Amino acid sequence: MALGTVAITGAAGTIGQVMRTALRGEATRLVLLDRVPLHAEHVNETVHTVDLRDAAAVESALAGVDAVLHLGGIPDEAPLPDLLDANVLGTHHVLEAARRSGIHRVVLASSNRVTGFYATGHRTDPAEPVRPDGLYGVSKVAVEALGRLYADKFGLSVICLRIGSFEPAPSEPRHLATWLSPRDAIGYVKAALTAPASTRFATAYAVSANSRRFWELPTPDVLAYTPIDDAETYAADIPGAATPPDPESPQAGPYAEPDFTLRHLQP
């Protein structure tokens, strides 16, 4: 399926830059949004300096777009008001612009951190109840809920990707379960952008084919992509890789520690 005109929010971010390069040759046009100024690098690129909290600016930038890859927002733990402002309100503005503009597909960047309190010995399915490991995870739960609302109430086609540890290569023991390689990330995004129009709503873990992974891979009827890379290839170079985690410990690892969130709470 042709990609048509694809918008990427958060295009200046780590994942956004990778997707910009990967999709440039396949999309008819790329519309790139970020609050950081960008410069067009190809004839089929259009750039917009936009704060996602500005609903009118978001709607203007997304005019004429066929699909949106929404990556913009705060990518880690932060005070809840900031996360609600950037992640939840920003996502609402993207979805509302899609509804008003007739955009057929929105791919939302969720996170594995929405289920971080499941035990490492448990292979988690996206249909299971959420168990966020912090305020950031809570904001992504809200992002998924907004996506579901817009799919159910307004008929948008929304796919939520629960992104793993996006790194060029795994560098710590937890990554042996959670790593998402750039190659597999691109594969998941392309599959989400080109999923059948009949896909009204779906949630999938975007993780590489790690033999130690915590999460179920999407089935072909949900997302037609099979990951390729396995973090185990790098295990010999990662200190502590030979020691298995406590099967009762949270999948989130250090993100589940109280101190990780306490420092972001208002006094």
Whether 251 is in a domain gets the answer yes
Percentage with pLDDT > 70 across the chain? 100
User: What is the pLDDT, as a whole number, of residue 2?
Assistant: 73
Whichever domain contains 195, its CATH number is 3.40.50.720
- Is 267 domain-assigned? no
Cα distances (angstroms) measured from residue 191 to each of 51, 103, 105: 27, 17, 12
Distance CA 237, CA 129 (A): 35
Domain enclosing residue 62, as ranges = 5-262
Q: What average pLDDT does the chain have?
A: 97
pLDDT of residue 74: 97
- The answer to whether residue 211 is domain-embedded is yes
Q: What is the pLDDT of residues 210-265, one digit of tens each?
A: 999 999 999 999 999 999 999 999 999 999 999 989 999 999 999 999 999 999 99
- Global pTM reads 0.97
pLDDT for the residue numbered 10: 98
Domain count, the chain: 1
**Over residues 178-207, mean pLDDT:** 97
The pLDDT value recorded for residue 81 is 97
- What per-residue confidence (pLDDT) applies to 266? 74
* Any domain includes 64: yes
| 189: helix, strand or coil | helix
Joined together, the tokens standing for residue 25 give: 């040759």
For the chain, what percent of residues have pLDDT higher than 90? 97
Tell whether the model's pLDDT for residue 267 goes beyond 90: no
Provide the residue type at 200 as one letter.
R
Neighbours of 37 (CB within 10 A): 9
At 254, which amino acid appears? P
Q: Are 179 and 164 in contact (CB under 8 A)?
A: yes
Catalytically active residues are: 136
pLDDT of residue 1 exceeding 60, the answer is no
Q: Is the alpha carbon torsion for 207, 208, 214, 218 positive or negative?
A: positive
Q: Cα–Cα distance between 131 and 121 in angstroms, integer? A: 15
Residue with tokens 């994942």: 15
